[in-house]
Amino acid sequence: MPVTQFSIKEKYRYQPGFDSYLQSEAVKSALPIAQNSPQKPPLGLYAEKLSGTAFTAPRHENKQSWLYRILPSCSHPPFSPLSVPPTDDEKNLHYIPNQLRWDPFDHSSSDTDFVSGMHLVAGAGDPTLKQGLGMYIYAAGRSMDAHEAYYSADGDLLIVPQEGALGIRTEMGWMLVRPMEICVIPRGVKYRVELVDGQKARGYALELYQGHFVLPELGPIGSNGLANARDFEAPVACFSEDVGTEWRVVTKFAGALFETRQKHTPFDVVAWHGNYYPFKYDLGRFNTIGSISYDHPDPSIFTVLSAPSDKVGTAVADFVIFPPRWLVGEDTFRPPWYHRNTMSEFMGLIQGGYDAKKGGKGGFVPGGASLHNVMSGHGPDRDSYEGARNTELKPQKVGEGSCAFMFESCLMVGVTEWGLKTCQKVQEAYNEHSWLGVEVHWKGTGEEAKGHLLEG
């Protein structure tokens, strides 16, 4: 069935569609008719525009929403730098060609929330120039404080839960995001993260410093397939009437954290309309496409979301998944092949196993990760290769109960000090265990190669 059967049941309503122009009101007649900013908006609300692109961006790229709220966002004292400096220096990355793999990252203590539990593992570019991306691990041991909100001015955040569901309240409304779902929270949108049923949460995230995510072009595939637009879900309006209570608002700005305290809730949006909003997606609905004759296609065929660069066909970030799927290729090595790539590949495992890497201690397991940087060779480990090389080729469903994913980028990715050393999760013997023992199957001809020489 192309829908994930979640153990935690859905509790919110949503609006379907990707990059759709939507509208929602929690109170009838809160949205003005026809115009955006009347002299006196309905119900005594303030009209506030939230722009995700320049005003003059082409119509097909333009991102903006109108929010109708009890008090405007600017109603707060100045921001101050947090007393605790950022853990990760985004301008001090280690660029190395080595293949890297991490054991599962630790769960956080009970005093760590979603924001304080975010650690930059790798990245490239500069958010002040709106170029590049950051790859994160998060681990939360508690919900954010009841009167606390967060937003990033640096980029859109793609969240990939691995353990523990997240209850995310945004300015536009609530989302429940469970493992095997993803969500995207746009640059500037305030939100608060709660843990569900008291369970600690761990997962992965990608912050996109430039542009926004789109659905990949389908080309000859046709008009449907991969992630279909109708399966994405956006929240419906939900607000609190809270004026007088002190709220702490934290922002990430140029890689550093700042805070302010205001006497009203940031979640006071009674109605909104536009195409700039948070959304979520059930990975179980992905329409996987592959070869039904021979050879394993390029993994780009598994792309869920893409963030294009200025070069057509090349992405600053692709979000790719490897879900359960049928393999039927004849006379074909069915796992992903050995590869050197001009793109960087950061992989994580949400659940189950991965058909090209062994699991267990020292292997590729849920909650861990790997990074194969630009032109660093990678592929199946020895045991996976030998198994696939000698297996009987019959129709086979792989990945049942499993889902791996990849953040792929055209950029050369640097690794933070936290990712290399502080986390203490790097598998030092990754290369040795994976590839130093690969066998030589070359049969040889017994003849000296001379075909490259001119005769005479």
224 against 363, higher pLDDT: 224
pLDDT at 154 over 90: yes
Q: Which residue has the higher pLDDT, 239 or 454?
A: 239
Mean residue pLDDT across the chain:
94
The residues annotated with a catalytic role in the active site are 296, 339, 345, 372, 378
User: What local confidence, expressed as pLDDT, does residue 83 receive?
Assistant: 63
Average pLDDT over residues 11-24: 97
Whether the pLDDT of residue 90 is over 80: the answer is: no
Average pLDDT, stretch 380-395? Answer: 91
Query: CA 271 from chain center: how many Å?
Result: 27
Average pLDDT on 148-174 reads 98
Which position has the higher pLDDT, 189 or 380? Answer: 189
Mean pLDDT of 395-421: 94
Query: What pLDDT sits at residue 358?
Result: 76
The predicted structure's pLDDT at residue 92: 83
Q: Residue 360: which pLDDT band, with cuts at 50, 70 and 90?
A: confident
Residue-wise pLDDT tens digits, 42-85: 999 999 999 999 999 999 999 999 999 999 999 999 999 986 65
